[in-house]
Structure 1
Amino acid sequence: MLQLVNMSNYMTDNDLINNSAEGLQKFLTCHHLDGLEMMFCGPLDGSVYKKEWIHGVHLRFWPWWLDFWRGDHHELLKQFGSEEEIKACYGGVTREDWLNVYRENIAAAKQAGARYLVFHVSHARIPELFSWNFGACDREIIEATVEVINELHSAIPDDTMLLFENLWWPGLTLQSKELTARLLDGVTHPNIGIMLDTGHLMNTNPALQTQTEGVDYILKIISQLGSYSQYIKGIHLHHSLSGEYIKNSQRSINRQDQYSMTDIMNHVLKIDEHLPFSVPEVRRIVDYVQPDYLVHEFMKDSMDEWVEKIKRQQQALNLLP
């Protein structure tokens, strides 16, 4: 099992390592980490982010994309207001335009040396993120995802693992063995799996009160996948206990007509807390899954905060020397 951390090449993350390979090497070595799962926010500087450190790449993610894929121009204009805004979001106005954005992202990941790619399986229109009244169900989103991935199949090298990540919005929530199988059995890429996001899975159960309850719930859900639990090749490890916020959000009647990106991010981060596990019971998840990749996935505003979160979780897992 390799221990990784999530990182982007956005300037705030670059600053944490002084934008230098030496700073990154010191950080990885000091905290017993094997490398990175990257997200690209622009061209990658290979002199800083060396190939031997990049094990995975999280592909770009559009939280709302199904209307575009279906060619529902009326709905898109209602959401975006103009052709120009639609094009700005998806890189064009046709399916092929959008798929080419993905192909470029995949090519950059291959060039960076990624052994695996992560793909979010989820969709919700902006107002639905707040209203919780969703216009598409899990099955529709999974079936459309199969179509997207099969269109991208030729761009993904056979030796590159494609890992599907669960969310709490409609899509791959891991609540259904049948729908999980529909996704995994439907794609043509031969090298596939699941990236289990523990915090996202906890967000599907607002009744959770403690980390230990979260561990029990996660193990219950993945055990119900039966043989498909063997597809879990990686874990984004963190916890979220935002049930009270979720329940209050679902009950809220103060809806807006328009939401800014700041509104959306504040809302999502109140749901998806990305906090480190600090209870030893978390080791049960790792022992059950036996992942190839364990990603300590956290939000971080400073190096001190980042290090504290990594060390707390490693200590809970009994992974510190």
Structure 2
Amino acid sequence: MLELVNLSNDITDTEGLLGGSPARLAAFLEKFHLDGIEFMCCAPWDTSFHTPDIIKGFHLWFWPSWLDFWLGNEEALLQEFGSRENIENCFGVSREAWLAKWAANFQQAADCGAEYAVFHVAQARNSEIRCRSFAYNSAQIIEAVLDIINQLSTRLPSETALLYENLWWPGLDFTSPALVHELLSGTQHKCGLMLDTGHLMNTNTRLCCEAHAADYILQMVDGLGADADHIRGIHLHASLSGDYVEREKQRHSHPEHHLTAEEIMAYVLRIDQHQPFKTAAARRIVDAIKPEYLVHEFVPADYEDWERKLAQQQRSLYHAAHV
């Protein structure tokens, strides 16, 4: 099992976390006995900073709300984005232009020599995220994802696995084993699953502690049957935000248009907490699934916060008492 951390080359990571120092990154990986990083490329790739030897996985980009564009739903697009200019700034002028952006991102994964590439399977309009009343269902989203992926995955080397990651919005959320099977069997490239523990916890607002969360996660994995064997990686973090989600659903019972980017991000980060596990519930999950890739996935405030969170989660994995 390779043990990794998530890292991008956005300035918030290269400067905010690492102070512009590749040596600091190397020291961090060595201190925590990590095998490398799952890399997200948000700017031109500096190979002297994020060197190819440490890039084991690659996280592809994600557009949370894209299906209206793909299906040509102009009315919904204008209601969500406000203008044709905003739509084109987000996606480009056509399906082909958007696919070209995707193709370039897939090519970056290939250029990095990553062993796997992670793709989010989800769709949610900005106006829907707080009320959780969605225009599209998971089956529609997976059908469209397969259409897109089977046009793009030729950009990946045959040995680079495409790993589908779950979210709590419609799409791949692990609550429908039949749809998981459809996604895997319909993909023409070598593929598998990246289980995000926090995202799966976010599908059940009744979870109250890590022990219950581990029970739920393993129950959902067991429900996948033979397709559970396709879980090749885990994004490991905890998110017990159910009370907040339910309060927000009551406060915002209908779609809300024209939320600001700051409002959306603040809401998502309150749900998707990316906290370290504090108990051996983490080890129960990892021991049961036996992933090839274990990614400690956090959204740290600074370098010291990153160290604290990773140290806490590693204690939970290797030293905490069983729960």
Mark yes or no: TM-score above 0.5.
Answer: yes
1:193 aligns with 2:187: no
Shift, 1:77, TM fit:
2.0
- Residue number in structure 2 paired with 1:113: 113
Q: Deviations over 1:204-255 (max 9, x none)?
A: 0000000111011000000010000000000000010001001111111476
The verdict on how the C-alpha distance between 1:239 and 1:64 changes in structure 2, with shifts beyond 3 A counting, is same
Q: Which residue of 1 aligns with 2:72?
A: 71
The answer to whether the aligner puts 1:135 opposite 2:135 as a matched pair is yes
User: In the superposition, relative to structure 1, how do residues 301 and 253 fare at CA in structure 2: closer, same or farther (>3 Å)?
Assistant: closer
Distance 1:74 1:226 in 2: 41
Unpaired stretches in structure 1, ≥5 consecutive residues: none
Q: Which residue of 1 aligns with 2:14?
A: 14
- Correspondence for 2:99: 99
Report the identity percentage. Answer: 46
DSSP 3-state at the match of 1:62: coil
Q: What code does the residue aligned with 2:208 have?
A: Q
Provide, for residues 1-25 of structure 1, a one-character-per-residue CA deviation record: whole Å limited to 9, x for no partner: 0110001111121122232321111
- Say whether 1:35 aligns with 2:57: no
**Unmatched tracts of structure 2, length 5 or more:** none
1:130 deviation in Å?
1.6
- SS class of match (1:134): coil
SS at match of 1:159: coil
Distance of 2:281 and 2:77 partners within structure 1: 45
CA apart distance, 1:280: 1.1
Structure 1 CA distance for aligned equivalents of residues 7 and 14 of structure 2: 9
Are 2:275 and 1:275 equivalent residues in the alignment?
A: yes
CA distance in 1, matches of 2:239, 2:152: 32
Q: Partners in 2 of 1:234 and 1:19 — Cα distance?
A: 29
The aligned residue for residue 303 of structure 2 is: 303
Query: 1:47-72 deviations in whole A, cap 9, x for unaligned?
Result: 01100100111101000000111112
Match of 2:213, as an amino acid?
Answer: G
User: Which residue pairs with 1:161 in the alignment?
Assistant: 161
Code of the residue aligned with 2:217 in structure 1: it is I
Q: Which residue of 2 aligns with 1:172?
A: 172
SS of 1:38 mapped into structure 2: strand
Counterpart in 2 of 1:240? 239
Q: Give 1:46's aligned amino acid.
A: T
Instruction: Name the SS of the counterpart of 1:317 in structure 2.
Output: helix
**Is the contact between residue 130 and residue 252 of structure 2 (CA under 8 Å) also seen in structure 1?**
no
What corresponds to 2:315 in structure 1?
A: 315
With normalisation by structure 1, the TM-score equals: 0.96
Residue correspondence of structure 1 range 201-220 to structure 2 within 5 A: 201-220=200-219
Question: How far does residue 85 in structure 1 lie from its aligned partner after superposition?
Answer: 1.1
How big is each residue's C-alpha offset from its partner over 1:250-277, in whole Å with a ceiling of 9 and x where there is no partner? 1114764420000000100111100000
- The CA RMSD measured in Å over matched residues stands at 1.3
